[in-house]
Structures are given as C-alpha cells and as structure tokens.
C-alpha cells in the first residue's frame, strides 16, 4: 500500500480520535454511565471509578499512538496536541454543569498519551536500527 495513503488514513484516524474523545469528555455524564452499564458484563467486575481511569488511559494511549504513527517526524507537534487536548478537555469539563475536570484526570491522560507516543517511537527506532545492519551488509 502507498505510504501516503497509510499516513493520510492514520492522520484522519488521529483527528477523529480527538473528536471522539472530546465528545465523550464533554457530553452529559448520563451518556458515560449508559455506556458503562452496557459494557459492564465484559469488564470483569470493574467499578465505575476504575473503569473511568482505565478508559482515560486507553483513549489517550491510542491517541498518542495514532498521532505518532501519522506524523513520524513531528514529535514536538504531536506532544503539544496530545498534552494540549488533555488539558483543554479537562478545563472545558469545568464549564459543564454535570462534569468536573481534575488534575488527576489530566495527569493520567497526559501520561498515557506520552506513553503511546514513546511506544511508537521506540518501535520505529528498533525497526530503523534493524534495517541499518542489513543496508551495511549489502554494501
């Protein structure tokens, strides 16, 4: 598959993830509870608080990973996007009547997003290191 098609698809997925996370973050809290109660049988007995922390981590780990794959040469930019979106969403939650933004939530989102970026960068580094000896062996 053409590299530009893959990069474009990943970029679309990354920006769509920002939109979905924003919607989930700023929508009425009843929506979040209804999703939790529908998936609860598959959560091995996780309570709502644990589920919320796990959901934050998974969402921002995915977000960081998608951006890192979509923009492989723009680490600073994607760090600003991931960290900025976590902070912005938490600040915007304080403006909604039934939600509240917390420093703990922002911190776990930032850490998970940065972990996703770091994981992708590590994999990219390992792959490029593995290709270098092959190129030297051919020369």
Any idea how long the chain is? 139
Query: Counting beta carbons within 10 angstroms of the beta carbon of residue 103, is it exposed (0 to 12), middle (13 to 18) or buried (19 or more)?
Result: exposed
How far apart (Å, rounded) are the C-alpha atoms in residues 11 and 8? Answer: 5
Residue 91 pLDDT > 60: yes
pTM: 0.84
Q: For residues 67 and 81, is the Cβ–Cβ distance under 8 A? A: yes
Q: Which two tokens stand for residue 45?
A: 């007995």
Q: Which of 52-56, 57-61, 69-73 has the lowest mean pLDDT?
A: 52-56
């Amino acid at each position: 598959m053409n590299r530009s098609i893959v990069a474009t698809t990943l970029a679309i997925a990354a920006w769509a993830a920002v939109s979905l996370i924003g919607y989930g973050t700023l929508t009425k809290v009843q929506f979040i509870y209804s999703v939790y109660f529908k998936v609860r049988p598959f959560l091995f007995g996780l309570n709502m608080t644990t589920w919320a922390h796990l959901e934050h981590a998974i969402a921002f780990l995915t977000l960081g990973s998608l951006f890192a794959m979509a923009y492989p040469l723009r680490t600073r930019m994607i760090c600003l996007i991931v960290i900025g979106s976590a902070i912005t969403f938490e600040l915007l939650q304080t403006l909604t009547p039934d939600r509240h933004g917390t420093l703990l939530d922002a911190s776990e989102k930032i850490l998970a997003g940065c972990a996703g970026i770091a994981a992708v960068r590590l994999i990219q580094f390992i792959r490029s290191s593995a290709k270098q000896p092959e190129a030297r062996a051919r020369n």
